[in-house]
Amino acid sequence: MTDPFALFSAWFAEAEASEPNDPNAMCLATATPEGAPSARMVLLKGLDGPEVPGRGFVFYTNLESRKGAEIAANPRVALLFHWKTLGRQVRVEGRAAPVSPEEADAYFASRARLSRIGAWASRQSRPLGSRAELEAAVEAFDSRFPGEDIPRPSHWSGFRVTPERIEFWRDMPHRLHDRLLFTRDGEVWRSGLLYP
């Protein structure tokens, strides 16, 4: 196989059929400009098809969160998908860039109403005095936007991770695992095996 996106799509379809919870969950690793790492789980919300130049993996977040600030300062990130029931994982390394406002608007509009209210109410990653403070903010924005027409806040958007490396790992007996690495060389993907 010469296209890592096609292989990822096939593996992801199997994960959607077999994983009991959140097959689109991925660990996102970022780093500060000084190199201090940070990792957290986010959800894959888009995978570009072959017609999209600079194809990538899309997720959404509060741009003022810790991950948003770290990506703004250092766009090099890593993603990790782990599907335990399949004995597989996929590692992605690349650069994150903002999605278009139109993409962010479209995804934001597809979210549940309370999730959209939450995007306004949460000052993600900043200190919170009490749960009551968060609940009061949710109530305030719920009153501010009484219907379904809730605009996307300017501090909430998404990122597309354009990969430079994608590694596919498959569990094998006696820890003699399969590892297939794709590396981007311009617009061409090169592949090779790695020792387990």
Q: Looking at the annotation, which residues are catalytic? A: 175
**DSSP structure string for 92-110:** EEEEEEEPPHHHHHHHHHH
- The length of the chain is 196
CA atoms within 13 Å, Cβ hemisphere of 57: 30
CB 125 within 8 A of CB 65: yes
Block residue for tokens 């990822």: 8
For 84-99, give one letter per residue: b (16+ CB within 10 A) or e.
eebebbbbbbbbbebb
CB 106 within 8 A of CB 78: no
